[in-house]
């Protein structure tokens, strides 16, 4: 399992500080930019030699991620970015289900948002990702599927918040509104952030309750 360092992992590292990484660590482009801006260096060590006090902890993919499947889909506006994100998922050790589309020919985003949402809701995938040009329509469509909590994210903060506070299980991205590097960073943070539970569990339970009451009408 390859660990991933994102820019958020460098927030607690001092100016001109150092962070220890293993030889197989993946460093996102935004993390490299942040490190260069603040003079932070990466020291490569073996996993046995790595000292927890050397810097921020690496944010690795979940321990069982090799057995976890991410469903991913996109319309024509998100097709190109979908293909790029599939490569990152593979590099990070995740399996994925590509639910289309398979070209840049015009198609309708609700079809792919529904396909990803139903795959996640059935339990055939751990989490889902849907892309269109703006990400808004896919989020609306995916959230019509019972059991789906889709979140449109556009930076690290929204990615982290949607998982930590809302237990989001589908990520939507606007392929025409963010760069490839930003999308990769968002996806890395989103996949590696666990649900915090606690007071947030009560609120997620209320979301489920709204869904259940609506289904009975």
> How far is Cα 143 from Cα 145, in angstroms, rounded to an integer?
5
Q: Which residues are marked as active site?
A: 165
**Structural tokens at position 130:** 């849907």
- Beta bridge partners of residue 4, listed in sequence order: 26, 59
Residue that is written with structure tokens 């059991």 in the block: 147
Residues forming a β-bridge with 132: 174
- Say if CB 29 and CB 56 are below 8 A apart: no
Question: Bridge-partner residues for 128, per DSSP?
Answer: 71, 170
Which of 49, 55, 102 has its CA nearest to residue 75?
A: 102
Cβ proximity of 142 and 170 under 8 Å? yes
């Amino acid at each position: 399992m390859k660990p991933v360092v994102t820019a958020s992992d460098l927030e607690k590292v001092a100016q001109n500080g150092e962070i220890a990484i293993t030889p197989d660590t993946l460093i996102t482009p935004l993390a490299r930019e942040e490190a260069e801006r603040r003079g932070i260096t990466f020291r490569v060590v073996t996993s046995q030699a790595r000292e927890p006090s050397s810097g921020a902890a690496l944010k690795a993919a979940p321990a069982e991620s090799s057995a976890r499947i991410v469903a991913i889909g996109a319309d024509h506006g998100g097709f190109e970015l979908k293909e790029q994100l599939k490569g990152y998922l593979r590099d990070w050790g995740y399996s994925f289900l590509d639910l289309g589309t398979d070209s840049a020919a015009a198609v309708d985003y609700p079809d792919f948002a529904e396909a990803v949402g139903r795959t996640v809701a059935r339990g055939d995938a751990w989490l889902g990702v849907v892309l269109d040009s703006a990400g808004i329509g896919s989020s609306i469509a995916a959230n019509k599927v019972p059991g789906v909590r889709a979140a449109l994210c556009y930076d690290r903060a929204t990615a982290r918040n949607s998982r930590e506070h809302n237990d989001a299980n589908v990520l939507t991205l606007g392929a025409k509104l963010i760069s490839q590097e930003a999308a990769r960073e968002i996806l890395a943070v989103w996949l590696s952030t666990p649900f915090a539970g606690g007071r947030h569990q009560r609120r997620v339970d209320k979301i489920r309750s709204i869904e259940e009451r609506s289904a009975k009408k």
